[in-house]
Amino acid sequence: MGVVNVTPDSFSDGGRYLDPDAAIAHGLELLREGADVLDIGGESTRPGATRPLVAEELGRVVPVIAGLAAEGAVVSVDTMRAEVAEAAVAAGAAVVNDVSGGLADAAMLPCVASSGVTYVAMHWRAHSDRMSRFTDYGDDVVATVRSELADRVESALSAGLAPDRLVLDPGLGFAKTADQSWQLLAAVSDLSSLGHPLLVGASRKSFLGSLLADADGTPRPVDDRETAHVAVLGHCMRHDVWGVRVHDVRAACDTFRAQGRLGWTDERGAGRWTMSWP
């Protein structure tokens, strides 16, 4: 899943693709590099971010989704709002990637259930401007996240979402310390046992920057974390992860090809999970 941020303030590339034509061109380049899905987001979820108005988010993502879908791309919309999800699906989106797992907007789960698209429910506890206050997971972050994701599964299925249209995401970096994100990655197979495909988004995140910090504690810059991320991708491929959300599609695909030659699943790392698009 290649990331296309149509925002002025995303932590990795905010403002670079705010113009719709630039965003579409970037998405097409990611497709050429090997992306299977393009994830279009109009709201930054970096720590401390404030939310755009609904009209702003719609204006950012809908033209880009329509343009990329017209080129034959499988498009995902990264949104927490049912109104944006509905407009995105009408514009051609086949996936709704909701970092709140349906908790930010009560209308989201009924909306995606009736649309027939694939839904990604991420583990989430609070909006970006206050999520750092919600990192208490007791003695076992893996067990707690698994339990809270299980609640999201129950809510999604109760709303009428087809079981084969539900993907889960552990939410690395969202209301989680760096150490908690590493613990979740190490135990990612435990989350697969919930019975739904997993999407993992580790690309360029702060827990990588903390790991690679200078001697004085300064985190490694965002654009210089890909080598460590490649190691994370290999781990995901070996542990039954369905998809990875990445900024550097070429590096990800190179990793999967190399792992495939070493005998891990197939050349694309798809494992046992498959997905057909509406």
Q: Would you name the residues annotated as active-site residues? A: 205, 245
CA distance 278 to 265: 25
Judged on CB neighbours under 10 Å (0-12, 13-18, 19+), 149 is buried
| Per-residue DSSP letter, 205 | -
* pLDDT of 115 strictly over 60: yes
What is residue 276's predicted lDDT score, i.e. its pLDDT?
Answer: 75
For the chain, count helices (H), then strands (E). 10, 8
- Sequence-distant (≥ 6) Cβ neighbours of residue 72 within 8 angstroms: none
CB proximity list for 121: less than 8 A, separation 6 or greater: 98, 101, 102, 149, 152, 153, 156, 166, 167, 168, 169
**Dist. CA 53–CA 59, nearest whole Å:** 10
The predicted model gives 216-227 an average pLDDT of: 92
CA nearest 42: which of 73, 86, 72, 77? Answer: 77
Cα–Cα distance, 28 to 24 (Å, whole number): 6
Residue 269 has pLDDT above 60, yes or no: no
Q: What is the mean pLDDT of residues 52-59?
A: 95
* pLDDT for residue 266 is more than 50: no
At 204, list the tokens.
Answer: 């360029």
Averaged pLDDT, 73-96: 98
Neighbour count for residue 20 (Cβ, 10 Å): 18
pLDDT digits (tens, 9 = 90+) for 163-189: 999 999 999 999 999 999 999 999 998
Q: Which residues contact 101 (CB under 8 A, 6 or more apart)?
A: 121, 122, 123, 124, 149, 152
